[in-house]
Amino acid sequence: MRQEYPCIDIDIAKIIHNICEIKAICHNEHIDIGAVSKGVCAQKPIVEAFLKAGITQIADSRMKNLKKLQDLNCTKLLLRVPMLSEIDDVVQYSDISLNSEISTISKLAEAAARLNKIHNIILMVDVGDLREGVLIKDVMDTVEKILQMKHIHLFGLGTNVTCYGAVIPDKHNLGMLVKLKKDIEEKFSITVPIISGGNSSSLYMVINHTIPREINQLRIGEAIMLGRETSYGQLIPNCYKDAFIIKGQIVELKDKPTIPIGNIGVDAFGRKPHYEDKGIRKRAIVAIGRQDIKVDGLTPLDEDINIFGASSDHLILDVTDCKKKFTIGDVIEFNVDYGCLLIAMTSPYVKKYYKNEQAYSA
Ligand SMILES: *Cc1c(COP(=O)(O)O)cnc(C)c1O
C-alpha cells in the first residue's frame, strides 16, 4: 500500500493503555471517567478503543460527532452547552448534556416531551474560570426552575476550569461544588447523583489524593491522548505521550541564509517576522503547513532539528546540526501538543493511519 503524507500515526494500543492507567487511578478515588473524543473528531477507531478499555461514557462537544457514534453501545454526553438550533438532536442523540441557561433547558424540556423522553442534564457552575456555568449566587434559583420541568432530570452538577481562565482546580473551587450539591439535596429533598469535577486538569488532585471524595466524575480528553494532566503538564505515571506521531516528507533541501533578502513586509498571516542571523544553514522544507498543524505545537523527534516556521503548506526546518544526512523524500516525525493534534485530526489533508488496532480488550 502506498504511504501518503502528511499523515498521523495513531497507536491504538497506547491509547488503550493510557485509558486503563487513568481509569485505575480514578477508580481508586471512586471516580468514573467520561472519555472525551472531541480532540480527535470522534474518529471511530479511537472511540472503539475507548470502549475496549472499558469506558462506558463518551463525551464530545459537537452533536455531529455524537450522532456519528449513535450505534455504539455507550452513554453519550454533550459537552458544549447546546445551541437552540440543535435542541431536538441533543435530546435524540445525547443521553446527558451540560447546561447553563434556563431558557435552553426549557427548550430541551419541550423537545423531550415531544419525543417522549426524559433528558438528563448536568448543571454547569462557574467556580471562577469564566467560561460556561451559572454563577454560584444563581444556582439555587436555577435548580428550583429545573425541578419544575417534568421531562428534565437534574442528573448532576459540574464545573469546567483551566479552559478559558486557566484557573487550576483545587479544594476551594471544587469544594464549592460539593457544598452546592449538599445544599440542593437538603433544600429540595432530592439526590444529585453526579458531581462532574472537571477535565484533565483535575487529575493531579486524583494522583495526589486531594480531590474531594464527593467528586465522582471527570471528563478526560487530553490526558488519554497525550498522557499528561493539564494543570502542571506533568506526565501521568506509566502513560505514553507519543500515541500520536505526525509525519511529513521533505520536498526541498538547500543551504540558504537565515535572513531573507529584500525589504521585509508582513508574512502570509499578516505578521512582521523577526529573524536571527545564524549564517548559512541547511534548510529542509516539509510538505505540511498551518492547514494541518500548529507550528508551536510540534516537537521533532530528532532533537537536533529546529523549526524556523511555517506557512499554509510548507514547514521550514533547520537540519544543519542533524547527525543524519537527509535527502529529498525523507520523512520527519513529530510529537504533538493538544492544539496541534486537534488541527491535524480535523485537517482532511492529513492521512490517519491506525496501528495495533487488535490491541487487547480490557
Ligand atoms: C474539552 C472539554 C473537556 C475535556 O478536556 P481535556 O482537557 O481534554 O481533558 C471536559 N469538559 C468540557 C466541558 C470540555 O469542553
Cβ–ligand 1 distance for 341 under 6 Å, the answer no
Domain co-membership, 251 together with 160: no
Domain co-membership, 35 together with 167: yes
> Measured in angstroms, how far is the CA atom of residue 325 from the centroid of ligand 1?
42
> Measured in angstroms, how far is the CA atom of residue 148 from the centroid of ligand 1?
29
Cβ–ligand 1 distance for 11 under 6 Å, the answer no
Within a domain: residue 234?
no
Packing angle of the helix pair 12-28, 44-52 (nearest 10 deg)? 40
The answer to whether residue 187 is catalytic is no
Q: Of all helices (H) and strands (E), which one includes residue 15?
A: helix 12-28
> Measured in angstroms, how far is the CA atom of residue 60 from the centroid of ligand 1?
8
Domain co-membership, 41 together with 184: yes
pLDDT digits (tens), the chain, 362 positions: 789 999 999 999 999 999 999 999 999 999 999 999 999 999 999 999 999 999 999 999 999 999 999 999 999 999 999 999 999 999 999 999 999 999 999 999 999 999 999 999 999 999 988 888 999 999 999 999 999 999 999 999 999 988 777 888 999 999 999 999 999 999 999 999 999 999 999 999 999 999 999 999 999 999 999 999 999 999 999 999 999 999 999 999 999 998 888 887 878 788 887 788 889 999 999 999 999 999 999 999 999 999 999 999 999 999 999 999 999 999 999 999 999 999 999 999 999 999 998 876 54
Within a domain: residue 161?
yes
The rounded radius of gyration (Å) of the Cα atoms in the chain is: 23
Domain co-membership, 290 together with 319: yes
Within a domain: residue 118?
yes
Domain co-membership, 41 together with 80: yes
Domain co-membership, 213 together with 343: no
Looking at the structure of the chain, the number of domains it has is 2
Q: How far apart are CA 19 and CA 358, in angstroms?
A: 16
Cβ–ligand 1 distance for 38 under 6 Å, the answer yes
> Measured in angstroms, how far is the CA atom of residue 177 from the centroid of ligand 1?
17
Q: How far apart are CA 255 and CA 260, in angstroms?
A: 13
Q: What's the DSSP call for residue 115?
A: T
User: Which atom in ligand 1 lies closest to the alpha carbon of residue 230?
Assistant: 7
With H, G, I as helix, E, B as strand and everything else as coil, classify residue 300. Answer: strand
Cell numbers linked to 180? 452546592
> Measured in angstroms, how far is the CA atom of residue 65 from the centroid of ligand 1?
15
User: Which atom in ligand 1 lies closest to the alpha carbon of residue 162?
Assistant: 7
User: Which atom in ligand 1 lies closest to the alpha carbon of residue 225?
Assistant: 8
Within a domain: residue 235?
no
Nearest protein Cα to ligand 1, atom 6: 221
- pLDDT attached to residue 360: 66
Cβ–ligand 1 distance for 79 under 6 Å, the answer yes
Within a domain: residue 361?
no
Within a domain: residue 238?
no
Within a domain: residue 14?
no
> Measured in angstroms, how far is the CA atom of residue 141 from the centroid of ligand 1?
27
Within a domain: residue 26?
no
Cβ–ligand 1 distance for 200 under 6 Å, the answer yes
Write down the catalytic residue from 14, 23, 38, 247: 38
pLDDT tens per residue across span 318-339: 999 999 999 999 999 999 999 9
Cα 37–40–41 angle (5° rounding)? 80
Which of the listed residues 196, 226, 256 is the one where a domain comes to its end?
226
User: Which atom in ligand 1 lies closest to the alpha carbon of residue 338?
Assistant: 8
Cβ–ligand 1 distance for 36 under 6 Å, the answer yes
Q: Which of 163, 222, 340 to mutate to test the pocket of ligand 1 (most atoms within 8 A of CB)?
A: 163
* CATH value at residue 104: 3.20.20.10
Residues 6+ apart with CB under 8 A from 358: none
Domain co-membership, 326 together with 251: yes
Domain co-membership, 38 together with 182: yes
Domain co-membership, 199 together with 261: no
- pLDDT attached to residue 361: 53
Domain co-membership, 221 together with 157: yes
Which of the listed residues 175, 193, 226 is the one where a domain comes to its end?
226
Domain co-membership, 197 together with 339: no
- pLDDT attached to residue 216: 97
What is the domain extent for residue 177? Answer: 31-226
Nearest protein Cα to ligand 1, atom 15: 79
Domain co-membership, 183 together with 66: yes
Which of the listed residues 195, 226, 257 is the one where a domain comes to its end?
226
